[in-house]
A and B are shown apart, each in its own frame.
With several copies, the nearest count.
Chain A
Amino acid sequence: MGGNNRKYSCPDVGGHFGEFGGRYVSETLMPALIELQRAYREASEDKTFYEEIEYYLKQYVGRPTPLYFARAMTESLGGAKIYLKREDLAHTGAHKINNTISQAILCERMGKDRIIAETGAGQHGVATATVAALMNKECVIYMGEEDTKRQELNVFRMKLLGAEVRPVVSGTKTLKDAMNEAMRDWITNVRNTFYIIGSVAGPHPYPMMVRDFQSVIGHEAMEQILAVEGKLPDTLVACVGGGSNAMGLFFPFIEESEVRKIGVEAAGHGLESDLHSATITAGSVGVLHGSKTYLLQDENGQVKGAHSVAAGLDYPGVGPEHSYFQDTEKVEYVSVTDKEAISAFSFLSEVEGIIPALETSHAIAHVRKIAPSMSPEQTIVICLSGRGDKDIHTASSFM
């Protein structure tokens, strides 16, 4: 998993992707990160670890997810052939579970009996509460108070799954602050607690580990597209919040430089406004939540609140490896506005009968821009990172 790129060798042993990444954490956590890194390395050398992950991905999560040829969308845009990698069909409705199930199995190996996580849209929280239920672990989920309101359904789901949801009232009361709070919990309860981070963010080894666990998306997609098209796709498109679904799709293709990779950030009300989450496109390098990466920050190095209609993209940082991909031009990063995303949300629903998450709708929106000018021989694979049931109230208030 994730290890098939011979030439590409990031991160280094300290978790650095070029200048990005690392472990910018309080001393209290360093031993825990080192322990985790060691446990992950040992597990990686153990065939039964991957067998267990594969078992749950297949039997519980429902993998492989289809690579669906979106005929109606393709015809409607009149250009490249569009394929949707259907992470919306994974158990709990998004790609997040690929990672949480794998981390939970690692947690079990490490003998920790308590799981914590931060969540924005609630998808990662639900995916974490789900695996905690499955593995019979105590579970606490931190969620910005703002987000508990706009993603109420997911709060109910987490509680039903037996998790305690702790609303976070500090700072901007969104994902960023939920992550601070989860870190504080971890600092306090580090001995018995496993922190399941939900994206390719945070201190090493999380960005690497989550990348590896999500790479199943790209591995499957590669095999599937080769089976139907006989060649690699021309373009991969995925939305980027922390960047885990994009990383999962892109990473197995990272050395395939002829495959164009586009990460789509949330431009919110527009890049010129201060209300967006376009970290790479409009941010600058800094350190947050344990790693060096692109950030939204003011001139004093204070982290700014992000904005996106998609709660799962509403984060002022981004996984450090994406920052590295930006600087090494392995991936292009663009952004689309709330408005464009909402329009794409309706578009896919009406055209294909698939309601995408608002996060995912950002990727769809960008494809609406680029597909028409591509040729029908070309193919685009979109990571359909999640389903939009959770967003229907939000979206309908805009429509």
Chain B
Amino acid sequence: MGRIKEKFRELQEKNKAALICYITAGDPDIEFTEQIINCMEASGVDMVEIGIPFSDPMADGPVIQAASERALKNSTSVSDVLSLVSRIRSSSDIPVILFGYYNPFFSYGTERFAHDAREAGADGVLVVDLPPEEAGELGVHIEREGLDRIFLLAPTSTEERIEMVLENASGFIYMVSVTGVTGARPDMNYDLEDLVGRIKSRSDVPVGIGFGVSSARQATAIASFSDAVIVGSALIRIIEDGGTQRQEVLENISSFTKEISAACLR
């Protein structure tokens, strides 16, 4: 069983939704990314999504765009991220999902990437701009290496598309909470519950919800009907606000993730 599936099983026993945290690798440098991940794990984060920065993050809001730009200032590459995963894996079993846009993976070489990602100890891959229709080329290698293929579903997704995604997905389904780009939002659309229900009635792959989660209140609400709470921009904002005060950033991340993690308990 893969680490992701294992983790969901473990949390189900604790009656807790998984807290999955996203950060952009290399923002502002790869060493700090590693520290943050260690800190998050210590504060109750259940899985990490490591973003590979891209020059044209079409589906991201200003916060993650800015993180990408900072990461690209020092040319953070797929190789750099894979090394980071290896280092994390040498001391931790936290599930790691690699998250990004297709071109950097494509440029690295899809077969080589899948192989190296598995070697480094990654567990799943989510490519934002790779819907099932285009996912074959990378997917075949990912699957062969035994990594999970994580897909997005959106409020706009039709029944047909849910079907198609479920046929291809493993690990979990990343349910996008809104029609919109990434970014913390004070309010969320709780009609999501219905959509999650529709997914769950067809498959037992776990469903996580992200795009906009920024408070314990939201996390509690989401945790009540889904398998995972995914937080991204809210964390990036802490990194951004902290600037060079790295110790302070780590403390803030720690207290923020602890609070959200607690809220994930049902």
Residues 277-323 of A at the B interface (beta carbon under 8 Å): 286-290, 295, 297, 299-304
Residues 179-236 of A at the B interface (beta carbon under 8 Å): 180, 183-184, 187-191
Judge whether A28 and B179 touch: CB under 8 Å.
yes
With contacts A24-B102, A190-B156, A297-B107 known, is A30 near B133, CB below 8 A? Answer: yes
CA distance A170 to B64 in the complex (A): 12
Judge whether B102 and A287 touch: CB under 8 Å.
yes
Judge whether B103 and A23 touch: CB under 8 Å.
no
| B193 CB, min distance to chain A CBs, angstroms | 19
Residues 117-160 of A at the B interface (beta carbon under 8 Å): none
Judge whether A180 and B104 touch: CB under 8 Å.
no
Residues from chain A with Cβ under 8 Å of B77 in the complex: 300
Tell which of B62, B78, B153 touches A27, judged by Cβ atoms closer than 8 Å. B153
Judge whether B61 and A184 touch: CB under 8 Å.
yes
Residues from chain B with Cβ under 8 Å of A289 in the complex: 56, 58
Contacts between chains A and B (CB distance < 8 A), count: 125
Binds A, one of B1-9, B123-131, B234-242, B254-262: B123-131
Residues 77-134 of B at the A interface (beta carbon under 8 Å): 77-78, 101-108, 128-131, 133-134
User: B101: nearest residue on chain A (CB-CB)?
Assistant: A287
Would you call B57 an interface residue if the criterion is a C-beta within 8 Å of the partner chain's C-beta atoms?
A: yes
CA distance A299 to B75 in the complex (A): 10
Residues from chain B with Cβ under 8 Å of A184 in the complex: 58-61, 181
Tell which of B65, B75, B107, B129 touches A25, judged by Cβ atoms closer than 8 Å. B129
Judge whether B78 and A300 touch: CB under 8 Å.
yes
Would you call B217 an interface residue if the criterion is a C-beta within 8 Å of the partner chain's C-beta atoms?
A: no
Judge whether A180 and B78 touch: CB under 8 Å.
no
Judge whether A26 and B161 touch: CB under 8 Å.
no
Residues from chain A with Cβ under 8 Å of B105 in the complex: 301
CA distance A177 to B154 in the complex (A): 24
User: B181: nearest residue on chain A (CB-CB)?
Assistant: A184
CA distance A299 to B78 in the complex (A): 11
CA distance A184 to B165 in the complex (A): 22
With contacts A31-B161, A301-B78, A301-B103 known, is A23 near B55, CB below 8 A? Answer: no
Q: 4 tightest CB-CB pairs across the interface, nearest first?
A: A301-B107, A301-B104, A27-B152, A28-B154
